[in-house]
Chain A
Amino acid sequence: MNRFGLPDLGIGIGLRTVHFGEILAGKPALDWFEVLSENFLDTGGRPLHVLDRVVERFPVALHGVSLSIGSTDALDRAYLQKLKALAKRTRARWVSDHLCWTGVLGRNTHDLLPLPYDRATLRHVTRRVKQVQDVLERPLVLENPSTYLAYARSTMTEWEFLTALCDATGCALLLDVNNVYVSSFNHGFDPRQYIDGIPADRVVQVHLAGHTHHGTHILDTHDGPAISEVWKLFARLCARTGPVSTLYEWDASIPKLAAVVREAAKARPFLTAVAATGTDDA
C-alpha cells in the first residue's frame, strides 16, 4: 500500500479515441482508465462528451505530457488551472506527468526531454513540484521517462534523483517498468537495481508497454506487447509495492479494444499473487 492512501484501482488502459465507440457500446473488462490530460483541456465536443460518459462508469486518473516540470521556463499557470479543473470534473484519483522538460523559450518540442540528475537540477525541480502541488492541492505523481541520452554532469542515478525528489516534495511516483527496462539498455545499468532502489511506498501507479529495439538503442514506442523481461521486472516491483494500480499503454498501431484489454490482463496473475503472499518490504 502506498503512503498516500491512494486506492489500488486494479488494471486499466489509456483512454484512446479509436476505442471510444467500443467503450461506450460495451462493458470492457477493465477496472479504470488513464486519461491523457491535454486531449481534454480545450475540447467541448465529442471527446469531452465521451470522457463524461466514461467517468460515470469508471474511475480515472489524469496523465499529462506538457507539464514540463524540469524546464527553466516559468510554469504555465493557465495550463495548471485547466488541469485542476479537469481533475475536478473527472474526479481524477490523481494527476501525473513526467520527470522531464518539453521546451524552453516559450516553445514546446512535445517530447519528453531528459534532465541532468544533479543537485542543482534537484533544487530546481523540487521548487517547481511544490508550486504545482500548491496549485493542484494534491501530491503530484511523477513518472520516470524513457531516456536516450545521459548528461556528463549527472552525479546521481535516476532512481536516486527520484527518491530525493520524493523526500523533498512529498510527491508520488508512477513507475513505468518498460521505461526502466528501456533506459537500462540505453544507459547500461541493471534494471533490477532501479526497481530495488525506488521508494516503494511512493508508487501509486505502474505503467507497462511495448517498445522497439533498434540494436543500438531502444525506443519507447507503446506499439505492442510488453516483453518477458518487463513482466519479470513488474513482478519484482509488485513484490515491493503489493497490489498497485496498473495500466497498459498502447499508443501506436492501436489494435481493437479487446486486444489491449487482453494484454493488460496479463498483469492480473502478478497482482493476485502478491495480494496473496504479501510484499518483500513488509
Chain B
Amino acid sequence: MTPELALGGLQRWLQAVVESPGSVGRALASREAARLVSPGKTHEVVLPSARQSAAERVGVYQGMYLPRMYEALEADYPGLAHFLGGAAWERLVRGYVTDHPSRSYTLDELGRRLPEFVRRARVRRPAFCHDLARLERAVSEVFDSPETRPLAPPDFASVVTRDWERARLVPVAALRLVELDHDAGEYLDSLRGDAHAHPPVRRRRTLLVVSRRNYGVLRREQTPAAFALLRDLVGGLTVGRAVARALARRGPARLAGADAAFRLFRDWAAMGLFRAVAGERPGRVAGRQVARGTNPQEAGLTRKRV
C-alpha cells in the first residue's frame, strides 16, 4: 500500500497493472496491483506529465500488452484466429494469457499450450479449433526444427537386404505426425489468396505428415495403414517389427502387403523423412551415420518472426 517500494515491488506492481485486462483504472485497482500501491496513490509512484495523469501514463503500457499478445499468437495461429474472428479470438487470447503468461525470452513459446486451452475454452466448434490449433502448432515446430540432411535413395540402397529387418529408421527433426478428427488442413488451404471460400467444418479423420523440404513446410495426408506404420517407425520400432504389426492389423489400418510397404518406404524416402538407418540397438549403424535419438520431438520448438 506504500509508494516507498523497493525496485522489486515496483516492478511487481507495474507488471500486475500491465497484465490486467480492462481499463487502466480497473487494472490499477486489481488485487495484486492495489496490494502494492493504492490506486489513489499512483501519482506518488509515477509522475504526471504536462499532458497526462500518472494513471494515463501507466495506461500507455497497459494498453499495449494485450494487442501484443493478440498479434503474437495470431502469427502462430492465423487459421484459428481467422476461424474465430476478432472478438472471439481476443476473448480466447485474454483468457489464455491470463492462465499462461509468457515465461520465455521469445514470444514463439507463448502459444505452446494454446491447442489444449482451446479444447476446453468456450468457443464455437471447440473440437475443430483444437484440431486446427494442433495442426498450426505442428507447422510452427516443423518450420523451426533443426535442419538435418535426409537420407537419399542410395543411402537406403547401401543397407544390405538382410539388415533391413533389424534396422531402425531415424526420423529427421522436422517431422510431426498429426492425427485429427477434422480436416483442418483443408481449412488452412482455404486461407490462401483472397477468395477465402472456406469449406464447411466437418468431421473427417485426417492423418497428416508435416515435414519440411528446402525450408518449406509440407503437409501430406496418409492412409490409416501408412500412418500407423510410420508412427511405429518414428516411435523406434525396427522395420521388421513395424511391418509385421502393420500386416497383422485389422480394418483400414492393415497394410495390404510387403509391396505396399516397399512403396511407402520409397515415398517417405522421397519426402526426406529419415536421416539415418540405425541398428536394432541405438549406435549400431547400418547406414551413414550414428543415430541415438529416435524421438521426433527432439527438435527445438520455438520460433519468432518479425
Contact = CB atoms under 8 A, between A and B. Distances in A.
A107 B103 contact: yes
B51 interface: yes
B147 A42 contact: no
A49 B146 CA distance: 10
B191 interface: no
Nearest to B301: A42
Contact of B302 (A42, A115, A121): A42
B304 A39 contact: yes
Chain B, interface size category, equals 35 or more
Contacts of B43: 152
A215 B96 CA distance: 33
Contact of A104 (B11, B58, B64): B11
Interface string B48-73: 01111010111011001100100010
B143 interface: yes
Contacts of B45: 151-153
A47 B15 contact: no
Contacts of A105: 12, 15
Contact of A43 (B52, B54, B144, B306): B144
Contact of B15 (A18, A41, A109, A150): A109
B47 to A, nearest CB: 5
A113 B57 CA distance: 12
B105 A66 contact: yes
B305 A17 contact: yes
A111 B64 contact: yes
B160 interface: no
Nearest to B9: A72
A184 B66 CA distance: 26
B29 to A, nearest CB: 18
Contacts of A153: 10, 45
Interface in A188-224: 188, 215-217, 219
B60 A219 contact: yes
Nearest to A120: B7
A41 B7 contact: no
Interface in A90-139: 101, 103-111, 113, 115-116, 120-121, 124
B18 A152 contact: no
Nearest to B299: A44
Residue of B68, B103, B105, B303 with most partner-chain A CB within 10 A: B105
Nearest to B46: A149
Nearest to B6: A120
A66 B108 CA distance: 13
A211 B85 CA distance: 29
Interface string B200-232: 000000000000100110000000000000000
A5 interface: no
Contacts of A216: 49, 51-52, 56
B18 A111 contact: yes
Contacts of A151: 10, 45-47
Nearest to A82: B105
Interface in B135-149: 142-147
A266 B125 CA distance: 52
A186 B7 contact: no
A241 interface: no
Contacts of A186: 49
Contacts of A4: none
A216 B50 CA distance: 8
Nearest to B110: A110
A112 to B, nearest CB: 10
A104 B305 CA distance: 24
Interface string A145-168: 000111111000000000000000
Interface in A43-66: 43-49, 66
A42 B102 contact: no
A263 interface: no
Interface in B92-119: 101-108
Contact of A187 (B7, B49, B72): B49
Contacts of B146: 44
Nearest to A214: B60
Interface in B224-276: none
Given A36-B306, A43-B304, A124-B7, A104 B143 contact: no
A45 B174 contact: yes
Interface in B1-30: 3, 6-8, 10-12, 14-15, 18-19
B44 interface: yes
A110 B72 contact: yes
Contacts of B86: none
A216 B56 CA distance: 10
B60 A217 contact: yes
Contacts of B145: 44-45
B12 A104 contact: yes
Contacts of B105: 38, 41, 66, 76, 79, 108
A45 B212 contact: yes
A210 to B, nearest CB: 16
6 contacts: A45-B212, A79-B105, A101-B11, A115-B7, A148-B61, A151-B47
Which 3 residue pairs are nearest across A and B when measured between Cβ atoms?
Answer: A44-B146, A66-B105, A42-B302
Given A45-B142, A45-B215, A104-B15, 5 more contacts: A17-B306, A18-B306, A47-B305, A79-B105, A251-B306
